[in-house]
Amino acid sequence: MRIPRTFGQYVAVESPVHSLDAKTKMGLVAAYTVALFTVERFAGLGAAGIVVIGAVVLAQVPWRLALRGIKAVSVILAFTLFAHALRWNPATVSLVRFGPLAVDGEGLRTGLFFAARIVLLVVGTSLLTLTTTPVQLTDGLERLMRPFARFGFPAGDVAMMLSVALRFIPTTAEEADKIILAQMARGARFDEGGLLRRAKAYVPVLIPLFVNLFRRAEELAVAMESRCYHGGPGRTRLDPACMRGRDWTVLSCGAALLVALGVLL
């Protein structure tokens, strides 16, 4: 049994995409999402697909990782496809019929369109976390949240919280694996019975996991305080994230292209 740890799984290579500022990439992902939801034709999705393929190749991210997110939404994909394509005893002409069950040509088209849109959305957005370290992401978020600091919003603390949470995902997943193995060694079964029974089987995993998390949190607080963390202003950065000329060029050209794509196709 493996706990997935896709989120925040950064691929450490040097590429033109990696070197872009996190805010640039967030802006592009936002424009890309808007474009995906405004295109009305397959040609539009095809164009978006070309953009994503280009981005994955440029980013030198292995396809296996770039496409991994699709597995998580496979149920939604299947549901989208079937809900649109299948008809029960339709009066209209159908593509294929199995008794009362029929595949509707128009519905299949729509289903494929929506499914392709979900796939493109997942691959495109996961590219952001694959090419940006969680710290760069949270730094970017902090910068975007900074205007709200004026109204007393603790932007720095929130960014640090997010960053630490992301940092502890792999550690926690490893620990959960260990506890699951330990419980299995004592005869616990996680693959038996209905949904409720399976969910219940995880209670003896979650309790020690949470107890350990609290212990970790306490020690982490000691470690962070020992290293002079104070949550106040005046923190400097090893990699100060700043928008360079290249970022502005890529952001404005990319966003313009994506918006044009959304409007025209």
Residues that bind another protein (CB under 8 A): 8, 10, 12, 133-135, 163-164, 166-167, 170-171, 174, 215-216, 219-220, 222-230, 234-240
CB of 52 to another protein, least distance (A): 25
Q: For another protein, which is the closer residue by CB, 46 or 170? A: 170
Nearer to another protein, 192 or 239 (CB): 239
Residue with smaller CB distance to another protein, 24 or 138: 138
Please, what is the minimum distance in Å from the beta carbon of residue 78 to another protein? 34
> Closest CB to another protein among 145 and 224?
224
Question: Which of these, 112, 114, 107, lies nearest to 85 by C-alpha position?
Answer: 107
Nearer to another protein, 74 or 226 (CB): 226
Q: How many CB atoms lie within 10 A of CB 41?
A: 11
State the Cα–Cα distance between residues 135 and 167, nearest whole angstrom: 9
Beta carbon of residue 16, minimum distance to another protein (angstroms, whole number): 17
Minimum distance between the CB of residue 165 and another protein, rounded to whole angstroms? 11
User: How far apart (Å, rounded) are the C-alpha atoms in residues 88 and 71?
Assistant: 28
In degrees and rounded to multiples of 5, residue 207 shows phi and psi of -60, -55
Report the nearest approach of another protein to the CB of residue 171 (Å).
5
